[in-house]
Amino acid sequence: MPSESCNVVVLLSGSGSNLQALIDSTRAAPGPARICAVIANRADAYGLQRAQAAGIPTAVLEHPGFEGREAFDAALAELIDGFSPDLVVLAGFMRILSAGFVRHYQGRLLNIHPSLLPKYKGLHTHRRALEAGDAEHGCSVHFVTEELDGGPLVVQAVLPVEPDDTVESLAQRVHHHEHQIYPLAVRWFAEGRLRLGAEGALLDAQPLPACGHLIRS
Ligand code: GRF
């Protein structure tokens, strides 16, 4: 359990705007969370440059050369564990993780997903929400379990879908909300307020509702 400081390792594959939000939040309001490493599975992930600009150590582990998902995930876990993480944060890490990897980090692995889970697991969430004619859309932070995009919810940001929304405009607004709720969830965890209990996520020792803590705009 993190006490005075909480070592956070961030995994990403792309732009890393959520990483940037985490960096900015830990700077604007210092707390126990300390991003001690950023690991990418692609050498060209722009998030690596964001980390370097912030003075955070980076590492790259690419899957060619590994025989299968388990072998890659074992090497990834070894790399992560070298940074003694209290929390591992998936921030646009575009790989399906093996069951063994997920179990190893049970209760200390968070993900952000651009939909109001359990709706729209997987890809193309904004398009699917528009095609379904949903009145509301949003994003979710959840503990990671073996079910893809299926673990206990921590916090969701809910926003209205506007009549003239396109996939791009909706994605942009959802992204903006991701940048609010991920730092919040990481801060809760680092402060020891957020835990994964046997029945689901707990905040301040109280069970969160199935949808997590809801933030509406
Ligand atoms: C976000 O939309 C997040 O919800 C999803 O991957 C995307 C990462 O975006 N898991 P960025 O790289 O943080 O900008």
88 CA from centroid of ligand 1 (Å) = 15
Closest atom of ligand 1 to CA, residue 19? 13
Structure tokens at 38: 């950023």
Q: pLDDT tens digits for 140-187?
A: 999 999 988 899 999 999 999 999 999 999 999 999 999 999 999 999
Catalytic positions, please?
113
Task: Please say whether the beta carbons of 30 and 190 come within 8 A.
Answer: no
Query: By alpha-carbon position, which residue is closest to atom 5 of ligand 1?
Result: 92
Q: pLDDT tens digits for 181-217?
A: 999 999 999 999 999 999 999 999 999 999 999 999 8
In 63-122, which ranges are continuous DSSP H helix?
A: 69-81, 99-104
- Do strands 87-90 and 58-60 pair parallel, antiparallel, or not at all (unpaired)? unpaired
3-state secondary structure of 59: strand
